[in-house]
Amino acid sequence: MPYKESYPSVLLSDAVDAISSLPGVGRRSALRLALHLLKQPAENVHHFTSAINQLRDQVHYCKCCRMISDDEVCAICGDRTRDHRTICVVESVRDVMSIEATGQYHGLYHVLGGIISPIAGVGPSDLNIKELVARAEAFENPESAEVILALSGDVEGETTAFYIYRQIEHTGIKVSSLARGLGFGDDLEYADSLTLGRSITNRQVFKP
């Protein structure tokens, strides 16, 4: 009984099914990983799986900004030295980590947990937009506070940004979005015309 497409063991086949359900992991890689795990000491494998289970079961989301956190309030929202009157709205946890890695931003965040996408069936009510509106409305002197819409430049990002803008417009809070233009080191010759056009329209005062 050769097993052309199948596996020598149901347990192995189940593990390959599970591992290949991860994004970007095909069945060949999944088999390689499963056989790797099989060769490891049992306690290493249990440590591996329990780290994943604990992440899924015990992680908290900051009650203020919805960022992943070990506590009720995340390290950023709990930091008194940060600018609590600026909120940077991002799609995901990864975006917060990317912006923090730049070291250029010292305000707070708001993680939407996704982006409005009719195709993917994600509507405004699936995202943390209500919580953002509540935060915007809670500011005293809203005209000196700011919401930065740091969303991606595609249709979904623009739609979500516009939707949020309409929801918080009435508070009088300042709303900004990320600068778009040529990247640092980008060659004019290879820039797409949409980006180049926007770069010219939104040209900045030259600061030598």
**Binding to a second copy by residue 59, rule CB under 8 A?**
yes
Residues 6-45, one symbol each (x = binds a second copy by CB under 8 A, - = not), give -xxxxxx-xx-xxx-xxxx----x-xxxxxxxx-x-x-xx
Complex with a second copy: residue 43 or 189, whichever CB lies closer: 43
Distance, CA of 102 to CA of 112 (rounded, Å): 20
Complex with a second copy: residue 35 or 194, whichever CB lies closer: 35
One-character DSSP codes across the chain: ---SSS-S-HHHHHHHHHHTTSTT--HHHHHHHHHHHHHS-HHHHHHHHHHHHHHHHH-EE-TTT--EESSSS-TTTT-TTSEEEEEEEESSHHHHHHHHHHT---EEEEE-SS--BTTTTB-GGGTTHHHHHHHHHT-SSGGG-EEEE---SSHHHHHHHHHHHHHHGGGT-EEEE---SPPTT--GGGS-HHHHHHHHHT------
Among 88, 96, 127, 136, interactor with a second copy by CB under 8 A: 96
Among 64, 76, 90, 112, interactor with a second copy by CB under 8 A: 76
Query: Which residues have a Cβ under 8 Å from the Cβ of 78 and sit 6 or more positions away?
Result: 71
Q: At what angle do helices 155-168 and 129-137 cross, to 10 degrees?
A: 40
**Binding to a second copy by residue 122, rule CB under 8 A?**
no
Give the total of residues touching a second copy (CB under 8 A): 63
Complex with a second copy: residue 115 or 168, whichever CB lies closer: 115
Q: Least distance (Å) from a second copy to the CB of residue 110?
A: 14
**Binding to a second copy by residue 121, rule CB under 8 A?**
no
**Binding to a second copy by residue 205, rule CB under 8 A?**
no
**Binding to a second copy by residue 57, rule CB under 8 A?**
yes
Q: Least distance (Å) from a second copy to the CB of residue 94?
A: 6
**Binding to a second copy by residue 179, rule CB under 8 A?**
no
Contacting positions for a second copy (CB under 8 A): 1-4, 7-12, 14-15, 17-19, 21-24, 29, 31-38, 40, 42, 44-60, 67-70, 74-76, 79, 92-94, 96-97, 100-101, 103
